[in-house]
Structure 1
């Protein structure tokens, strides 16, 4: 089963995306619809809202007057938080019931308007944000809902801004064009990413690029790492283990394979082989089969054993290295990252080597092995730098 979070600002077109995904076969969980259910007449949710805001938020028929309630909470942040404290736990509980009823191979799309605001992004395998220009959204609110401009602007201002949503998004769908263009983008997402991602999660299969293709430095790599780390942290809770961005994508200015390297610090490899591995796989980070180790530095000593997990997401390859705290491989990954960050000359030398090897040794195994002599020599420089600067992992 794949859990996808869908969000977007008011009038962005989120509902159109949700409807298209449902037509393609997704199980849609509409948080707005559930939010209406949990405050229906006679419900505990409605009683609690009346107790908090008085019966001025009720209509003549005793049902919730959503417009009256909206006028209260969208003009008062503390009032909005009181409302969220009443409704959000009930919405989450009902959503969990619907997820439990879905088929094992389902793509479950949770349509959550305030997904970013309430910090739910790490709970999903993938977050999709629908985005449209504010001017477009204001036009839609006036045309489709008859909303006054001042009210529309208040509604938009009460939600997360576009930059905050983009930071939480694995996929951004632009909806300033036609409905046909939006549907085509949704269809590609379904075919090329969501369906294979779901199958990979279910089969516990990691995406492993076989060929080396260097990508120019991407300033969003650290942000992408941040989303991955948040998912990992949520998956392993209540364990509170150290997570680090390592490898070339963690070093500003380095071209790299477009694969995010993450190090998860574990107490021991036995711990890595326990329930932790299952929780990571369920979250979309399955273990890569086989024996994995790091070549020791300097060469000649015993290999540094580790566990390797990857990503089930075909759109975001990941190497997730599980190494025991204080082990040589654990320390070395952090040392080399920090040394290359601090030394522009060695960073430039490493970049030149990477470009040369990517051209002459395009398969992953040959490329990795061919870098060993350089790393053996660089290890000595890194240790000297650590001694001179007082570096600690």
Structure 2
């Protein structure tokens, strides 16, 4: 099962996207709809709401008068917390039931308006954010929902900012233009990313990247790494994870593959985490079990690791699971930190990458390319270790 979080601000048009995904075959769980169901007439949820806020929140037919309740809770934090304590646990329980009932090969789209505000992003394999410019959202809310303009703007301002949503978004869907445009984008996303991502995750199959291709540094890499780190930590119960490798070094040209390092106490612990990582979209790469030992550290046992790669065709990842304080774990961190403070080394390394990558373009993989870099890497690591030895925050 692939878990996809869908969110966006009020008036952004999430229903357009969720409706299309349902047409394509997704199992859509709509949190707004569930929030209505759990306080429908005759439910214990409605009973508790009335007990908390009084008979004035009931309409003449005995249903919940939502505008009346909104007037009470929208500007009162304590009242809103009381309402959330009644509704959220019931919605959560119903969501869990629906996810458990979904087929094993389902793409489950969880439509959650406050996904970002509630810090839920790490729970999903992928987060989709639907965006529409504020003025268009205000227009829609006034025209379609009959809101007063001031009320619409107040509600928009009370939600997450664009910056907060961008930080959580694996996919940013612009719904400010013609409906056909965003629908076409959703169709492409379904075919090229969601379907293969689900199949790869279910079959514990990594997405193969192929021959090395060097691209310019992408300023979006750190934010992408941060989302992946949160996902890995959620899957592992909080294991320490760091962004390493070329994409962690500002300005360095690199393969568009995010490298992360997970620290464990032993390889046995690494093996115990394998299933959870695979379920989170990072299956094991069994062919990559060890790093290349440096001449000064020849003990092969101290270079062993476990490697997981991404099942997501839209975001290649190498996840190196290494024992903390073993040589490769330490070298990965000191090399990154050294490169970040030595721009001339960044320039030299980028030139080497651009020189070597075309020579191995026909390989269909990156093994020989990596081997060709080893002499430079060994010399660079010696310089990095010497640098680290002169810094009080490093122990070498």
Please report the TM-score for the alignment, with normalisation by the length of structure 2.
0.95
In 2, distance between residues paired with 1:300 and 1:49? 66
Q: Which residue of 1 aligns with 2:280?
A: 283
Do the aligned residues in 2 keep the contact of 1:3 with 1:124 (CA within 8 Å)? yes
Q: Which residue of 2 aligns with 1:160?
A: 160
SS of 2:290's equivalent in the other structure is strand
What does residue range 7-86 of structure 1 map to in structure 2 within 5 Å? 7-86=7-86
Q: Which residue of 2 aligns with 1:103?
A: 103
Q: 2:271 matched to 1:273?
A: yes
Out of 243, 246, 257, which is 2:241 matched to?
243
Give the drift of 1:60: 2.1
Give the drift of 1:305: 1.0
In 1, distance between residues paired with 2:353 and 2:243? 19
Q: Which residue of 2 aligns with 1:181?
A: 181
SS of 1:293's equivalent in the other structure is coil
What does residue range 347-366 of structure 1 map to in structure 2 within 5 Å? 347-362=346-361, 363=363, 364-366=366-368
| Structure 2 stretches lacking a partner, 5+ long | none
Give the drift of 1:223: 0.8
Out of 369, 380, 383, which is 2:382 matched to?
380
What does residue range 136-175 of structure 1 map to in structure 2 within 5 Å? 136-175=136-175
In 2, distance between residues paired with 1:165 and 1:86? 26
Q: 2:192 matched to 1:214?
A: no
Q: Which residue of 2 aligns with 1:390?
A: 392
Out of 364, 367, 370, which is 1:368 matched to?
370
SS of 1:116's equivalent in the other structure is coil
Point out 4+ residue stretches in structure 1 off by more than 3 angstroms. Answer: none
In 2, distance between residues paired with 1:308 and 1:323? 9
| Structure 1 stretches lacking a partner, 5+ long | none
What does residue range 84-99 of structure 1 map to in structure 2 within 5 Å? 84-99=84-99
In 2, distance between residues paired with 1:221 and 1:147? 40
Q: How many equivalent residue pairs?
A: 390
- Mean Cα displacement is larger for which, 55-64 or 23-32? 55-64
SS of 2:352's equivalent in the other structure is helix
Please report the TM-score for the alignment, with normalisation by the length of structure 1.
0.96
In 1, distance between residues paired with 2:288 and 2:354? 28
Give the drift of 1:75: 2.1
Q: Which residue of 2 aligns with 1:298?
A: 295
SS of 2:305's equivalent in the other structure is strand
Do the aligned residues in 2 keep the contact of 1:299 with 1:376 (CA within 8 Å)? no
Give the drift of 1:273: 1.2
What does residue range 127-142 of structure 1 map to in structure 2 within 5 Å? 127-142=127-142
Give the drift of 1:298: 3.1
Give the drift of 1:231: 0.8
Do the aligned residues in 2 keep the contact of 1:261 with 1:320 (CA within 8 Å)? yes
In 1, distance between residues paired with 2:65 and 2:288? 61
State the Cα deviation string for residues 261-282 of structure 1 (Å, max 9, x = none): 00000111111112x1101101
In 2, distance between residues paired with 1:31 and 1:155? 18
In 1, distance between residues paired with 2:296 and 2:372? 14
Q: Which residue of 2 aligns with 1:335?
A: 334
What's the Cα RMSD here? 1.4
In 1, distance between residues paired with 2:219 and 2:373? 25
Give the drift of 1:11: 1.2
Give the drift of 1:300: 7.2
